[in-house]
Every structure is written in structure tokens, then in C-alpha cells.
Amino acid sequence: MTRKIRRRVAVVGAGMSLFMRRALETGRELSYYAAQQALESAGVRLKDIEAVTMATAPDAFDGVHMKGEWLLDGAGGTRKPYLRAYVGGGSGVFSLISGWTLVASGLFDLVLVVAEEKMSSCQPHPQGAFLTIFDHTIERPLGPNLLWIFSLEQQRYMQTYGIRNEDIALVSVKNKRNALDHPAAQVAANLTVADVLASEVVAWPVHRLMVSPVSDGAAAIVLAADSIAQRLTDKPIWVQGVGWALDTSYWGNRDLSYPRYVEVAAKMAYEMAGLTEPRKQIHIAEPYDPFAYKELHHLEGLQLADRGKAPEDLAAGRFDRTGELPTCPSGGLMGVGNPIAAAGLMKVCELFWQLRGEAGARQVPGTPERGVAQAWGDLMQIGTVAVLGVH
């Protein structure tokens, strides 16, 4: 790519609903709460918003066809240019990229980005909806679910690098503890590695406390073009780089020990952000952690840890909130919860609050200037990466 990015885009407001197992509110209402907070924090009204993007994962959760259309009035999209960009579990971070595209193109100056998920509508359990994500001929007859395929991936990761389950359980301990400071968290807890490994095995080697919960929730941000952002706030958080990459559908043909698609996406985002030494230049990371091992796996794909070495860094305290590179200071999906698309945008919200010094009890020490948020989805297939910073 030879061209230069047309204009700078900043996050100027963020909001989110509580994350919970079973919300009484509808998807439209959850979207409204998050959108309303984001607008309020940006100091703008819905009528100032020129376009809306929406992220929400499979229609099968709600059993509503064209779910984006159904949610649009809750998200403030009525009679506006409205867009639902969709990359499975990667949609939450991708919604920022989609919103960035609208503003960076010069078509719009002020855009609302909403991410919503209501998984509890799916009875008896949303894993049922995931049965329909697999290839109808090759895979579905085997009756796979997500726990099943991610346990394969975790197994491959452990096998390749000689990693023990204790090393991975430590992610659950860290993130659930970090989440104790998050007012919207669903499954915050103070646990030990022994507690995690004492929880039941759901698909070996994955224990129940190594999996993020089923959640309902929504998150939202407001994006503004350069000049507008400077007028709205003294502390705009700039979108410095974005990247995304989708690997082949044939996941059975890939080496699952390393997420190449995250590496490709990260390099795209780092190049756009002008980062040459991400480990020094990135001060906070919000890698996607729907399963405990995924945080470590993704930190390696993000080039923030050596391959197979993230567990050692974790054990040494490098990723603690007070460590050299705090990861998931929010509490992540393991602690705050995992309403799929909303969980990804929650990570962007966390960077917004951390970089503005507004994260309260979760605030990482020092004055972090740059963070990275990442999400992942489809058939262990897509990486979506955004670099945000104060400059």
C-alpha cells in the first residue's frame, strides 16, 4: 500500500452496560444504554452523530434474521447511514476499525460505534448456536462445539512449547482479580491456580474457570475527525493504527500453535502507527482472552512476547497491572465477561479510560501513552488489532 492515511481519527467518548449472565433488557435497550453513555461522555447528542456502525455476533443467538436491522433504533441508527461490519468474535475491535473507516474517509466527522450481544436468549445454551458455524459437510456431522476446538488449540499450544496447565491457569487468576476493580464485571473473583484447576474439566485441558462466561451486554464509543475531536475534548485518544487479517476457512490444515493471522493484523496496525519496537512502544495491552490460553497465544501473535514464552513472562509478573506490560487491566473477558462483540469494544473502552487516566482503581501506574486492543474470531481465523495513543 502506497497511499497515506487521509486524516486522523480520535475516540472522544466511551460507555458500556453491566455485563451479566441474563439481562432483563432487550438487545435494543442494552445498545441504548451503552450508546447513551458514550454520547454523554463525549458531550454530544444523537442528532450530532452523522453515521452509526453496529457490531453484533451471530443472528442465531437471538433467532432474529438481519439482527443489525432489528437493533438499529436502539443503537441510534434510525434515518442515518448505518453499517454492520461482521467478523465473528473479532467484531468488537473491528467495530472501531469500521467506525475509523467512516471518519478517515472524510465522509463523516462524528460517528457512533455500538457493539451489543445478548447470548442468554439462546436456550438452553448458546453453544447450540455455535453448532451451526462449522462446515456443513466436513465438520458438522462430528458435532463439534467451541470448547471442543479450542481445547484442541490449547493442547497444541501446550504440546509445542512444553507449557503446563498451571501456567495457563494463572491468566484466569490475574484477569478475574483485575476485574474486581471493574464496576461492570460479571465474574470477578480472587482465586488461586489451585482453585482454577479444581474446577471441572469442560473439554480437557480446559477447566471451567479457564473459559469466559456466557454474557449479555453492550459497549459504545464516539469517534471524531481531527478538528472536531480537539474541540470536544482536551484528551482525545487517537486511533494510531488498525489492522485485520482473515486466515483460510480450512482450520484443520493450519498449525494451531501460533496465530499467524494476529501477527499479520498486528504488523499492519504497527506499520500504520509507525511502531518499530512494539514491546517498548506499547504500554498497555488488551489481548482477546475468551479462554485463558488465548491471552498468552495472542500476546505472542501481537509480537509482545516470544513464541512459547508468554507463560514465563506471566509467571514473572510482567503482565500484572503493575508490571512492565499490563495486559487486560480491565479484567478481560475472563473477568468482566464475554458478550461477544461488546467484549471486544469493552477492551477499546478500557484503553480509552486508561490512556486518559480515568480508569480509577484499575489505573495502571505511570502515564501510559499507547495501548493495543485485539480481538479474534471465526474459526480461529481472524485477528483484529487497533493501536490507540494520546498523541
Partner 1 sequence: MSDRVAIVGAGTTPPRPLSPDQSFREMTFAAAARAYEDAGVSHRDIDSFISVCEDFHEGTSITDEYVPDQLGAVLRPVQTIAGDGIQGIATAFMLIRSGIADVVAVEAHAKSSNILRHDEVLAMGLDPVYERPLGVNPHYVAAMEMRRYLHDSGRTDTAVADVVVENRRRALGNPIAPYGAVLTAADVLAAALVSEPLRASMISAYADGAVVLVLASEERAEAALRPVWIRGIGWSSDTSALSMRDWATATYAALATAMAYQMAGIERPADELAFAEVDDTYAHKQLQHLDAARLTAPGGEPLVPVNRSGGSLGMGYCYDASALYRTAEAVRQIRGEAGRNQVPGATTGLVLSWRGVPTQTGGALVLGDH
Residues that bind partner 1 (CB under 8 A): 1-6, 57-60, 62-70, 72-73, 77-89, 94, 97-98, 100-102, 104-107, 129-130, 132-133, 135-136, 242-250, 260-261, 264-265, 268, 272, 377-379, 381-382
**Which letter does DSSP use for residue 265 in this model?**
H
Q: How far is the CB of 220 from partner 1 (least distance, A)?
A: 17
The DSSP element (H or E) to which 387 belongs, if any, is strand 382-389
Q: How far is the CB of 149 from partner 1 (least distance, A)?
A: 12
Q: Where are the beta strands (DSSP E) in 110-232?
A: 110-118, 201-203, 206-207, 216-225
Q: How far is the CB of 31 from partner 1 (least distance, A)?
A: 13
134 touches 186 (CB < 8 A): no
Q: Count CA within 13 A, CB hemisphere, residue 382.
A: 16
Q: How far is the CB of 107 from partner 1 (least distance, A)?
A: 6
* Cell 484442541 found at: 152
Q: How far is the CB of 56 from partner 1 (least distance, A)?
A: 9
Closer residue to partner 1 (CB): 36 or 101: 101
Q: How far is the CB of 377 from partner 1 (least distance, A)?
A: 7
**Which letter does DSSP use for residue 181 in this model?**
G
Closer residue to partner 1 (CB): 181 or 378: 378
β 370-377/382-389 pair status: antiparallel
β 237-246/216-225 pair status: unpaired
Which of 2, 222, 230 minimizes the C-alpha distance to 95? Answer: 222
CA separation (Å) from 196 to 153, 193, 199?
19, 5, 5
Q: How far is the CB of 298 from partner 1 (least distance, A)?
A: 16
Closer residue to partner 1 (CB): 145 or 172: 145
Q: How far is the CB of 67 from partner 1 (least distance, A)?
A: 8
Q: How far is the CB of 113 from partner 1 (least distance, A)?
A: 14
110 touches 45 (CB < 8 A): no
115's CB contacts (< 8 A; 6+ apart) are 34, 54, 55, 56, 91, 92, 95, 218, 219, 220, 341, 342, 344, 345
Question: How many residues make up the chain in this entry?
Answer: 391
Distance CA 332, CA 327 (A): 9
51 touches 102 (CB < 8 A): yes
The DSSP element (H or E) to which 340 belongs, if any, is helix 340-355
The answer to whether the peptide bond before residue 311 is cis (omega within 30 degrees of 0) is: no
Distance CA 133, CA 127 (A): 10
Closer residue to partner 1 (CB): 2 or 276: 2
Q: How far is the CB of 111 from partner 1 (least distance, A)?
A: 11
* Residue-by-residue DSSP string for 102-141: HHHTTS-SEEEEEEEEE-TTSSS-THHHHGGGS-TTTTGG
